[in-house]
Chains A and B, each alone.
Chain A
Amino acid sequence: MSRNRLMAIARKELIQIRRDPRSLLIAVLLPVMQLLLLGYGISLDAKHIPVYAYDQEGSQFSQSLLKRFQASKYFDLVATVADYRELTNAIDSDRCKLGIVIPFDFSRRLRDTGAVSVQVLVDGTDDNTANLATGYARAVIGAFSADFQQRWLGRQGLTMAGAAPISIEARTWFNEDLESRNFIIPGIMALVMALVGALLTSLTVAREWERGTMEQLISTPVTAQEVMLGKLLPYFAIGMGDALLCVVMGVWWFGVPFRGTLHSLFVATALFLVVVLGVGFMISVAVRNQLGASILALLVTLMPTSLLSGYTFPIDQMPAAVRAITYLVYSRYYVTILKSIFLKGAGIRVLAGPLLALTIYAALIGTLATRAFRKTLD
């Protein structure tokens, strides 16, 4: 392999990228757009859940329960309605997610029988929000009940039970405020790298075939390996630049913590880029037209990375068969590494497993990509 020829190909490719506004658009605008759009658009946190209340009793006591909902940062008590139909209508037309119905004999039943229940209607359409909202509502009502119970027991002279029996002291590690943004932004970075890498490289060889410049390239003394490496080097540099851009935007713009070391991030990103660029290159060699190549590239990179990498949907909750497939998805390892580096500050030692998997992938794809391209004209 001659360094001279390699650099010549790389330079040619670089000039081509520079002169093609579309490639530049993909390389620079796409990462920024994706980060802004997904960084702001993807939030799983349920705060300010709109609540309608139907207070049949309307007493001071029932109001004190509703006040607790109002005070919670998770709920917004939007309106109090006068009949059941209005409540169901509000849920049907998406004006609220939660409807609280306090029975007309709320205080009396509690006094006489000691047990009363508050009906909470939940719009279950969006199961995740519904799940979170139900949990928060249960906590609000539970605290209300416990407070009342303790006061009652205290009045009966049962002072032993004057305090809540147990309390949960929860400490959250790595993502202390439980912001979904903090775990989604590292995932978006993987998505961006996969997209940019595969989309850009999928075009390089296909373009030469489509425009007929491949014949010219074949008639020069460059070897197949030099063509491959020379073509991929500029994209590797662009990918690294995009990675840096993602980190800078994630940390300074979105305020995601960065607790790991830059060099572990650098190593992981380099390995991931080798895999992604290799896949893009192979697609480009196999499908000799640009359109087919980019559709295929999108299909094999975007879909698995966004669905099966664990970037939003937790892998351990998937059915066993799907979980087995995720081991084949190379982005899975990169997403794991990124989340660990950003949030956990894990060093190379903890990351050994996923890094090894990425290395194996890089070696495999690298070898296959080198073999894939041959300097023949058929």
Chain B
Amino acid sequence: MYRRIYHMALKELLEIRRDRWALFRLLAPPLIQLLIFGYAATFEVYHVSAAVLDFDHSQESRELLSRFTGSKRFELAALPANRDAIRSLIDRSEVFVAIQIGPQFAQLLRKGQTAPVQVVIDGTNSNTALIALGYIGEIATAFATDYQTDYVNRVAPRYAPFVPAVTMDERPWYNPDLNSQWFFVPGLIGSLTLMTIVNLTSFGVVREREIGTLEQIMVTPIRPVEFILGKTVPFFLIGLAEAALIALLGCPWFGVPFRGNLLVLLLGTSLFLLSSLAVGLLISTICSTQQQAFASGFFFLTPAFTLSGFAFPISSMPVLMQWLTYIDPLRYYLVVLRGTFLKGTGIEILWPQMLAMTALGAGLLTFSVMRFRKALD
């Protein structure tokens, strides 16, 4: 039995080696995506182009505006002459935000009344707008606090050291600089491996059917289970190699740390590959041409990526969709990946994910093997 599986696996590896394009197809898309994703996929907000309109021309207004333009988050892009100019600047996307200080700003401040600052922001990209608004609030609060301290210092210096203030001491764990690459690169290991393995497996079986070599194999003494094992073991190894390659290239390149246990990651990857292989096999049982297999793979992979939490947080999805994410193997693998790379968590925390992947993998694999045997008869 083992000999037959071994020969089947050997044949499969030989086939991949002899295909001039196979290596290219295996390596090029993941590497290109790794590079583009690593550099292009970012939700960080820096150098937001800002227009500044100061009707007050006081020391206070200049001080506040310089805090905006002096921060690395905002960049002075335009000095419009009047209010109407803001409209066209934002319409043409020349500036993203406009900050306007009214003529009585300093006067109100000195009287101890609240001085308003008008901010107009382009909400088209709501995420950038939200983050930019957060930074604007932060700068304004710092200005207000400093102004008040100054005021107390001037009027009643003996109280100054006692003015109460509650501050926030934030500790972003695992990703102290809130670097997007740290979030995306470990996730890419999962999504790129899933894509490659599902396509490879489904093509591998369907190709035999398409060229008619499946019938030749059927007349040999090989049993269906041996055939499936011989087919999938090479792809399992390729999957491990691909995951390792992406990790070894991507992490040092983008400076992503690895803080967990390598064995935990290996276990998680193996369990995840079971589900990926099972999906590939399942697709091969419903398709008769590689073209169909490709299309079906696409129909499976798009929801698998969207629902996994790869780029978009699951907690923000509608409840019904959140339920759907539980049948997505990538969802669990991403927790394992981010856990081992960034959080350094071990099996004592990741066991529910491992269990879920085992159950999903076993279930899918049984189902696809059953279907596969029927398809062979």
Residues of A within 8 A of B (CB): 22, 26, 33-34, 37-38, 40-50, 65, 89, 91-94, 110-111, 113-132, 134-139, 141-142, 144-146, 148-149, 152-153, 156, 158-176, 178-180, 182-183, 203, 290-291, 294-295, 298-299, 303, 307-308, 312-314, 316-319, 321-322, 336, 339-340, 343-344, 346, 350
Contact = CB atoms under 8 A, between A and B. Distances in A.
Contacts of B302: 33-34, 37
B56 to A, nearest CB: 12
Interface of B: 25, 29, 32-33, 36-37, 39-47, 49, 64, 90-93, 96, 109, 111-131, 133-138, 140-141, 143-144, 147-148, 151-152, 155-156, 159, 161-176, 178-180, 182-183, 290-292, 294-295, 298-299, 302-303, 306-307, 311-313, 315-318, 321, 335, 338-339, 342-343, 345, 349
Contact of A117 (B128, B168, B313): B168
Contact of A135 (B121, B138, B159, B316): B138
A128 B291 contact: no
A121 B176 CA distance: 11
29 contacts: A22-B292, A37-B306, A45-B126, A89-B349, A110-B164, A116-B166, A118-B166, A122-B170, A122-B172, A125-B174, A134-B170, A141-B168, A145-B166, A146-B141, A149-B164, A149-B165, A156-B159, A160-B111, A161-B148, A161-B151, A166-B116, A166-B147, A170-B119, A172-B120, A174-B122, A174-B124, A183-B126, A317-B128, A340-B124
Q: Looking at chain B's contact residues, is the secondary structure mostly helix, strand, loop, or mixed?
A: helix
A340 B96 CA distance: 14
Nearest to B142: A142
Contacts of A164: 114, 144
A173 B162 CA distance: 41
Contacts of A128: 43, 127, 180, 183, 313
B317 A122 contact: no
Contact of B43 (A121, A131, A135, A169): A131
- The 6 closest A-B CB pairs, nearest first, are A135-B134, A124-B175, A175-B123, A124-B172, A160-B112, A128-B43
A89 B339 CA distance: 12
Contacts, number: 327
Contact of A303 (B36, B159, B163, B335): B36
Given A127-B180, A178-B123, A317 B131 contact: no
Contacts of A122: 170-173
Given A117-B167, A163-B112, A314-B128, 18 more contacts: A42-B312, A43-B313, A48-B315, A92-B343, A127-B178, A148-B164, A160-B155, A168-B117, A169-B117, A171-B120, A174-B124, A291-B290, A303-B33, A314-B127, A336-B93, A343-B123, A343-B124, A344-B124
Nearest to B131: A131
A176 B170 contact: no
Contacts of B127: 44-45, 128, 180, 314
A33 B296 CA distance: 13
Nearest to A294: B294
B84 to A, nearest CB: 14
A149 B171 contact: no
B134 A172 contact: no
Contacts of B173: 91, 121-124
Contact of B117 (A22, A166, A294, A312): A166
Contacts of A145: 164-167
A166 B64 contact: yes
Nearest to B180: A127
B129 A175 contact: yes
A121 B171 contact: yes
B156 A156 contact: yes
A317 B42 contact: yes
B147 A165 contact: yes
A141 B166 contact: yes
Contacts of B155: 158, 160
A16 B311 CA distance: 38
A312 B39 CA distance: 14
A26 B298 CA distance: 11
Contacts of B126: 44-45, 175, 178-180, 182-183
A42 B306 contact: yes
Nearest to A88: B173
Given A153-B163, A166-B116, A166-B144, A294 B151 contact: no
Contacts of B306: 37-38, 41-42
Contacts of A117: 166-169
Contacts of B49: 316
A338 to B, nearest CB: 11
B138 A168 contact: no
Contacts of A161: 112, 148, 151-152
A171 B315 contact: no
Nearest to B146: A165
B134 A290 contact: no
Contacts of A114: 161-165
A173 B122 contact: yes
Given A134-B172, A172-B123, A141 B112 contact: no
Contacts of B91: 344, 346, 350
A135 B120 CA distance: 19
B43 A291 contact: no
Contact of A125 (B33, B40, B129, B343): B343
Nearest to B309: A126
A166 B169 contact: no
Given A124-B176, A168-B137, A294-B295, A307 B41 contact: yes
Contacts of B147: 165-166
B317 A167 contact: no
A146 B142 CA distance: 11
